[in-house]
Chains A and B, each alone.
Chain A
Amino acid sequence: MSARLPAVKKAGSQEIATVKNEDFVTATIANQLFGIPVLQVQDVLGPQKITRIPLAPPEVAGSLNLRGRIVTAIDVRLRLGLPPRPADGKPVMSIVVDHKGELYSLMVDNVGEVLSLSSDDFERHPATLDPRWREISTGIYRLKETLLVVLDVSKLLNFANIEAA
């Protein structure tokens, strides 16, 4: 079920501020659309055999073997303070991201298409946003139908802050 992403890479770089368009892999969690910068994404996975890790933080779902590399699976729902996934039998999708040389698999409800978004539609997140969400996102894109929350992978994986919260 693992599929390499189509090569939209190099279309834009988030590092360069002047670039207007940025590409995001979109995902839905609890009917909310999220985006992860495409350059950080390694893989999109279907359901995997996950080894539970006892004593790990609850957000850590376990670890899995991705072509010989050990990947730590993070349940983004729990990380966002949302209730656990309902057992509706839908396959769990994961987005594998690279963070400081380690691979993490972000478990989401569904993975959507890759969107190229214009920075004109970008906005800082509203002040009323849940602090937990505010912490792990960089901002919001206004799409036609809906809003897209941009996930900040490094903050998402920074567990030290959760424990403090």
Chain B
Amino acid sequence: MDDLLSEFLTETNENLAVLDVELVKLEQNPNDPGLLSNIFRLVHTIKGTCGFLGLPRLESVAHAGENVLGKFRDGELHVSPYAVSLILESLDTIKGILSVLEATEAEPPGGDQDLIDRLNAMAEGKEVPKAGAAAAPAPVAAAPENDPEELFTPVPAHLTHTLAPAAPPPPPTPAPVAKVEAPAPVVEAAAPPPAPPPPPPPRAEPQDDVRGESKESALAQQTIRVHVDLLENLMTMVSELVLTRNQLLQILRSQKDSEFAAPLQRLNHVTSELQEGVMKTRMQPIGNAWAKLPRLVRDLSHELHKKIELQMLGAETELDRQVLELIKDPLTHMVRNSGDHGLEIPADRVAAGKSETGRITLNAYHEGGHIIIEIADDGRGLALSKIKAKIIQNGLATESELAQMSDQQIQQYIFKPGFSTAAKVTSVSGRGVGMDVVKTNIEKIGGTIEMRSVEGRGTTFTIKIPLTLAIVSALIVECASERFAVPQISVIELVRAASDSEHKIERINGAPVLRLRNRLLPLVSLQNLLKLGVADDDDKRETFIVVSQVGNYTFGIIVDRVFDTEEIVVKPVAPILRHIELFSGNTILGDGSVIMILDPNGIATASGSMGGTADNAQTAAQEVAKSARREDDKMALLLFSAGEGGPKAVPLSLVARLEDVDLNLVELSNGEPVVQYRGKLMPLVPIDPNWKITRDKRQPVVVFADGDRSMGLVVDEIVDIVEDRLQVELGTERQGFLGSAIIANKATDVIDAGFYLTRAFKDWFGNAHESFEDERQHRVLLVDDSPFFRNLLTPLLTVSGYDVTAVESADEALALSESGEEFDVIVSDIEMPGMSGLDFAQAVRASARWSGTPMVALSSHAAPRDLERGRQAGFNDYVAKFDREALLLTLQQTIAEKGAA
């Protein structure tokens, strides 16, 4: 039954019961104004609610009654027994109608004209019993013999009977009406009870239709109203009971054959049932949260001139009212988004071969202790190109990074805070306003949100939330002899890892990873994360990996042991500990000890920043994108082995040639090994720092070249050339390496060619660029015609914490200026085809937008004369092309100067 209706029935029945009593009192004290106004108010409330719910028959009766009462109140009419009985009669009629309403959810057909006429007549002061006959010549009107004695009987049902005798014998309807008695749980979805099929009355004989035995409403008897606080309190008590039960069970487990076993089992069951029962009292159908949506969608469709159909499935799915409250707003927001941005206008839909009416589908269902809510539209989906443009504009990623992301990863950007502010996004990309807020809200209650979108076909959001917040199922794990609870919702699977098992932890520069079904799973050592001493690197010992998922980011948490799952009651941590983001709360376990509850979201965030990626990524989603950049872009990779560790790789596009160098020909120049190569000296740089020149041997060398410079990277063995995705899974701080990737099913270090190149042409440098870490990512525009340099510098600068946008010509750069892009610094080559670097600098200085942006020139010629020319053109600084260290330093200084200015 409709909630609103059942609530109305309960309330009205209560009011009627009060009215019965009050009216009788009134008859005894006809001039008590307090009594009168109370009665008036009650009838007025009934009338008002009827009107609101669209119950015309009830409303008209109540209205007529109210009129009479109004006159009483104003002193225009005198309270007479006849008048009171007339009011009581109208109340009885109302009751009769209500009981039919309760059974069939509809007012019985027919009208109450006769009664209303009599009431109206009364209101006009014609206190004649027969007065009604003037308006309605129905025989019933003449009937009542208003024996005053009868009227004093307080039982209303009785009164009805006294009024009835003259009426024609009622049709045999009372029986079906009596069925109302059948206990029908209030909230139960309306299984239409056997509706009393009142044969259409030949005449307007209202009483007969509805009267029957005026039963006390079945509803009124079956529901009581309880304050929410009481329920909350009950819930807390039950939570405590559950904890105590857990404790007892724990004790029992350690004592076999205890005589407490049987009663404890019983207690266990009763507690579970009690818990379930109390939970149920807090449960509300999700339809309650949806109640406003049809109206919202209707308004939206008018406002936007779209045809929108809202389909709501599973509205009866129940969830905790606390959760319900919390998801109400996000849901509303998302439906609005779907209607506003997801669905196209009818013309576009028809053009796309879809029906004119767009459809938004809400679907809620239970799945394994969680509620799944899907919000789907069949609109245009997310326009990737627009999102990409926005990502670049907002400086969230560079074009080259985007090119290497999967569609899915790019779509995730709509959950980023950067996407919420710009109003432009709503009109272009389709979504974005406040999606980060939605995500945050859902994560706050321990839920997750995922999105699938197909351009042109629509978007589906899937929200997964726990049934209740009070009691959650958690996995108990141990790490460094401390136990922690991990909410079950975020645990995907458990993997046992040991050197002798199928799964073993591998390390890339100390960063642990696990091969899991052909994917590299980044691992987080809980021990390190929580600073519980230094984890011994002995990977032989057995550990367990808790594979968790936050958003689309999957990672593993290394723990020492895994215990069973336990129902825990989440309690907030003390205020002085709230700042520790890794914990979402604490609780008391079955054995009475206190345990901290880990927050997977916090771990994901913390581990992401520990992974060594350069910027202060804030959300897990950002980490996702970061850890999985450069995907979906197959490229040829040169695999080789050198020094310690696993195979290494470098993009083949950067490699000029592969050579086999006779080590007898290697000479030393300035202490560094060089070899004569094509008439020039080529420096040799070994990857293995321990590399020694062994005479009478040949050594494979990977030659990098740009222009007339070349450099040889000394490796141990060329392994293979493979065509694979260069998907750098894990960043690294180690110099000379970009990170690690799975290449040819092996964890492979991807080397940073730029690092070795600079080693060849400059002496070793000390440690670079630590100071960049904590700053906001500065945006760098790199202009260079050579793809080699772009490929070289982009990763170099990115790793150093800059957000790099690389373009191949000055014209392209100026186009970016036109489109409103902003950069902190521009790095430009000097010798370029078309517009040269110097001309470009002049153009920039003359332009309105970028005139204040510092520029750094990049050239192979770094003579003082060149420097001067550069300054005149508008460059702030001048750096030699291969001087990686100087470039980084210059960038840092330039940006600092700009900031200071």
The reply to whether A63 and B586 form a contact with Cβ atoms under 8 Å apart is yes
Within 8 A of A (CB), among B573-616: 574-577, 580, 582-583, 586-588, 592-596
Count A-B contacts at CB 8 Å. 58
CB distance from A111 to the nearest CB of B (A): 22
State the main secondary structure of chain B at its contact with A: mixed
Within 8 A of A (CB), among B864-899: none
Interface-side segment among A14-22, A32-40, A48-56, A139-147: A48-56
Closest A residue to B587 by beta carbon equals A70
| A55-B243 contact in complex given A65-B593, A72-B576, C-beta closer than 8 Å | no
The reply to whether B574 and A68 form a contact with Cβ atoms under 8 Å apart is no
Contacts of B583 in A (CB 8 A): 53
Contacts of B244 in A (CB 8 A): 68
| A104-B574 contact in complex given A55-B530, A63-B586, A68-B240, C-beta closer than 8 Å | yes
Contacts of B596 in A (CB 8 A): 51, 53-54, 63
The reply to whether A65 and B594 form a contact with Cβ atoms under 8 Å apart is yes
Within 8 A of B (CB), among A143-165: 157, 159
| A72-B582 contact in complex given A51-B594, A51-B596, C-beta closer than 8 Å | no
Contacts of B587 in A (CB 8 A): 70
The reply to whether B593 and A51 form a contact with Cβ atoms under 8 Å apart is yes
Cα-based distance from A100 to B577 in the complex (angstroms): 15
CB distance from A2 to the nearest CB of B (A): 13
The reply to whether B586 and A60 form a contact with Cβ atoms under 8 Å apart is no
- Number of chain A residues whose Cβ lies closer than 8 Å to a Cβ of chain B: 21
Cβ of B21 under 8 Å from chain A: no
Contacts of B576 in A (CB 8 A): 56-57, 60, 72, 157, 159
CB distance from A26 to the nearest CB of B (A): 25
Closest B residue to A160 by beta carbon equals B576
Contacts of B243 in A (CB 8 A): 68
Cβ of A64 under 8 Å from chain B: yes
CB distance from A98 to the nearest CB of B (A): 12
Cβ of A120 under 8 Å from chain B: no
Cβ of B695 under 8 Å from chain A: no
The reply to whether A72 and B482 form a contact with Cβ atoms under 8 Å apart is no
Cα-based distance from A100 to B586 in the complex (angstroms): 18
Contacts of A64 in B (CB 8 A): 594
The reply to whether B577 and A53 form a contact with Cβ atoms under 8 Å apart is yes
Contacts of A56 in B (CB 8 A): 576-577, 580
Contacts of A159 in B (CB 8 A): 576
Cβ of A102 under 8 Å from chain B: yes
The reply to whether A70 and B588 form a contact with Cβ atoms under 8 Å apart is yes
Cα-based distance from A70 to B593 in the complex (angstroms): 9
Q: Out of A70, A100, A102, A104, which one reaches B594, CB within 8 Å?
A: A70
Contacts of A57 in B (CB 8 A): 576
Contacts of A63 in B (CB 8 A): 574, 586, 594, 596
Cα-based distance from A51 to B573 in the complex (angstroms): 13
Cα-based distance from A102 to B576 in the complex (angstroms): 10
- List 7 A-B pairs, minimum CB-CB distance, nearest first: A54-B530, A72-B574, A51-B594, A63-B594, A55-B580, A159-B576, A65-B588
> Would you mind naming 21 contact pairs between A and B with Cβ atoms under 8 Å apart?
A51-B595, A54-B482, A55-B530, A55-B531, A56-B577, A57-B576, A62-B594, A63-B574, A63-B594, A65-B588, A65-B592, A70-B574, A70-B587, A70-B588, A70-B594, A72-B574, A72-B576, A72-B577, A100-B575, A102-B575, A104-B574
* Known A55-B582, A157-B576; 11 more pairs at CB < 8 Å: A49-B593, A51-B594, A51-B595, A53-B577, A54-B530, A54-B596, A55-B531, A62-B594, A70-B574, A102-B575, A159-B576
